[in-house]
């Protein structure tokens, strides 16, 4: 087996972890392959020890990778929900934000529903700038810079509508190329008659 094959079997997202894993895999491969028979008097114990060291180190590398690749899944669950009468929509999502990024999501809002939208994120992201655009005309329907950077809102639509929600964090503090987690919570409930 070649070190390059080992390298391609390891699928780390961080380049430094790629290099570290490759170096370790190559050393481990050569250590196991080129051990002389005289060093292997206790073949079973020595082989098991080497296997355990390699196995433990690979588990540590895997855990480092999961820590390094920040997971923002389900971050929307940290956002404020108006009240329990709303049902969270499948359009809700966790977002991995990068410096200067504008996140856009296309949403379908049904007639006869009251839609609650809430935004949340890590402290370093600050307050979000939110724009809601008409999907067809791309005209801005709502901009929270005109509303004191409000981080949640309620939208009622008379007819089913497709809109675009744009989210950015202009005052965010990023260090290097790091990402930060944000959440977009969309919830809905039936409108009462007469509203």
Could you give phi then psi for residue 61, rounded to 5 degrees? -65, -40
Note whether 57 and 133 are same-domain residues: no
Question: Pairing state of beta strands 102-109 and 140-143?
Answer: unpaired
Q: What is the pLDDT of residue 13?
A: 44
Q: Which of 145, 149, 147, 97 is nearest to 125 (CA)?
A: 97
Q: Is residue 195 part of a domain?
A: no
Note whether 60 and 80 are same-domain residues: no
Q: Is residue 63 part of a domain?
A: yes
Structure tokens at 27: 């050393």
Q: How many domains does the chain have?
A: 2
Provide block-wise average pLDDT over 10 residues at a time, the chain (195 residues).
40 47 53 52 59 64 48 90 89 91 92 92 90 95 91 89 93 85 93 63
pTM: 0.61
Domain termination site, one of 47, 68, 89: 68
* CATH number, domain containing residue 163: 2.60.120.380
Note whether 137 and 168 are same-domain residues: yes
Q: Which of 119, 125, 129, 103 is nearest to 173 (CA)?
A: 125
Q: What is the pLDDT of residue 103?
A: 92
Find the domain containing 43 and state its range: 3-68
Q: What is the pLDDT of residue 158?
A: 85
Q: What is the pLDDT of residue 191?
A: 83
In terms of C-beta density within 10 A (0-12 exposed, 13-18 middle, 19 or more buried), how is residue 106 classed?
exposed
Q: What is the pLDDT of residue 47?
A: 62
Note whether 166 and 129 are same-domain residues: yes
In terms of C-beta density within 10 A (0-12 exposed, 13-18 middle, 19 or more buried), how is residue 58 classed?
middle
Domain termination site, one of 52, 68, 84: 68
Q: Is residue 36 part of a domain?
A: yes
């Amino acid at each position: 087996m070649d070190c390059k094959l080992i390298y391609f079997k390891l699928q780390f997202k961080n380049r430094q972890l790629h290099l570290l894993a490759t170096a370790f895999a190559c050393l481990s491969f050569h250590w196991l392959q080129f051990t002389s028979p005289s060093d292997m008097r206790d073949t079973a114990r020595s082989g098991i020890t080497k296997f355990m060291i390699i196995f433990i180190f690979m588990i540590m590398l895997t855990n480092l990778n999961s820590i390094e690749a920040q997971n923002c899944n389900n971050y929307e669950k940290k956002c404020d929900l108006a009240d329990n009468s709303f049902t969270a929509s499948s359009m809700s999502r966790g977002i991995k934000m990068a410096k200067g990024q504008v996140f856009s999501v296309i949403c379908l809002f049904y007639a006869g529903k009251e839609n609650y939208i809430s935004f949340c994120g890590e402290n370093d992201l600050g307050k979000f700038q939110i724009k809601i655009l008409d999907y067809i005309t791309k005209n801005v329907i709502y901009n929270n810079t005109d509303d004191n950077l409000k981080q949640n809102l309620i939208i009622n639509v008379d007819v089913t509508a497709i809109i675009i929600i744009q989210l950015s964090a202009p005052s965010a503090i990023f260090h290097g190329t790091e990402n930060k987690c944000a959440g977009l919570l969309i919830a809905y409930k039936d409108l009462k008659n007469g509203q």
